[in-house]
Each structure stands twice: as structure tokens, then as C-alpha cells.
Amino acid sequence: MPRKTTPRQDLTRGVWRENPVLIQMLGLCPALAVTNTVVNAIAMGLATFFVLFFSSLLVATFKRLIPSEVRISAYILIIATFVTIVDMTLEAVVPEIHKALGAFIALIVVNCIILGRQEAFASKNTVPRALLDAVGTGFGFIIALLLMGGIREIFGYGSFLGFPLFGANYEPWIIFILPPGGFFTIGFILLALNWWQRRQEERAKAAELAEVAVGRAA
């Protein structure tokens, strides 16, 4: 059942509180596979954002025309169309980046985030709200990819967006741009998130206890 949310929540929840990658653990494949540099991460983030935005637009617009029996096929058809468009456009405009991302652009089709948002939100809400949700979720995805790409490029190449950071003496930690580095980076990010969350909880509990103590003293 769709919960009642305000338009503001539609926009913001995907960015951080329900971040598709870091919290919901969706779309992991691109988040790990093409985040060895910041440029690749941005390209993948924007491509996914584009597909998500236009798929949500179409699905929300035509939701009454799509019978529920074939809705999944219809969503996949819509998503695959936009992914093919992105794929061909990237190849024509920025062929170098297209080569670096390879088949992973086409694999946006099976990114659970996009189909998930259509099924869970765009097909049940008005067009403006579906777009707000798509923008929020898309930004959340880009933020997660940037975080991964930033960490991996800074350690793995000693640079950010191609600009060297540490001077010539820096010996890059190559492991960060290799596949294991992807797993380690997201593992450490999750560790940090867990630690932060637990600290928040403990603080809240401590504050509650203090309040109780003050109440007793009074």
C-alpha cells in the first residue's frame, strides 16, 4: 500500500534516508563495476538518471492505459527503449567514456532501482510526484556512485577527476581500482554508516535517560 507522503518527502527520501544503493542495496552491479574513476561514475549516474526520469514520466502518464497483466513487460519495454537511446547517444557523443563503460550501459535495463521505482511508485502516483521521486532516487544513485568513485580514484590513482592530488611520490593503491577494491570500498562505507547509526541511537538513548533522571530529580 502506498504510504501518504508529502511532495517534499518524495524528492528527498531517495537522496539519503532511502538511498537506493547504500541503504536499499539495489543497483549494486553498476555501483561496483564502473566506479573506478569519478568520470565513469558520473557518466553512469547521469545515464541511469536519464533513464529513470523518462521511464517514470512515461509510466506515470500512461498508467491507466497499461493493463496490470502486462505491466512488467510494458515497463521493461519502456526502460529498454530509453537505455538503447542513451547507449547510442553516448557512443556518438563521448565514445571514449562509452568504451570505458562497455556493456554496463546496456545493463542499466536490469538495474533493480529503475523497475522498482516504476512498480512501487510511478505506476501509482501522479506525473509530478513520480518525477520528484525519480529525481530524488536518481540523485541518491549519483551521490552513491560519486562517493564510491571518489574514494576509489583518490586512493587507486592518487587523483580526482584526473587531476593528481599527492604529487609524483605517491604510490597508488592499485587494489582500489581493481574488482576487490569495489567490494572493500562499499564494505567500508557500510561499516562507517553502521557505526554512525549506532552512535546516533546511543546518543538518543543517553539523552532519554538523562531526561528521565532530570525528571526524577525535580
- Return the half-sphere exposure (C-beta side, CA atoms, 13 A cut-off) of residue 208: 6
Closest Cα partner for 154 from 176, 182, 137?
176
| Residue 93 binding another protein, by CB under 8 A | yes
Matching residue, cell 560519486: 146
| Residue 187 binding another protein, by CB under 8 A | yes
| Residue 200 binding another protein, by CB under 8 A | no
Three-state DSSP class for residue 171: coil
Helix (H) or strand (E) holding 4: none
Closest Cα partner for 105 from 121, 122, 93, 118?
93
Report 31-60 residues binding another protein (CB under 8 A): 32-33
Q: Pick the stretch among 144-152, 160-168, 193-201, 203-211 that binds another protein (CB under 8 A).
A: 193-201
Q: What residue ranges bind another protein (CB under 8 A)?
A: 25-26, 28-29, 32-33, 65-74, 76-78, 80-81, 83-85, 87-89, 91-93, 95, 99, 102-103, 106-107, 109-112, 115-116, 119-120, 156, 172, 174-175, 177-184, 186-188, 190-191, 194-195, 198
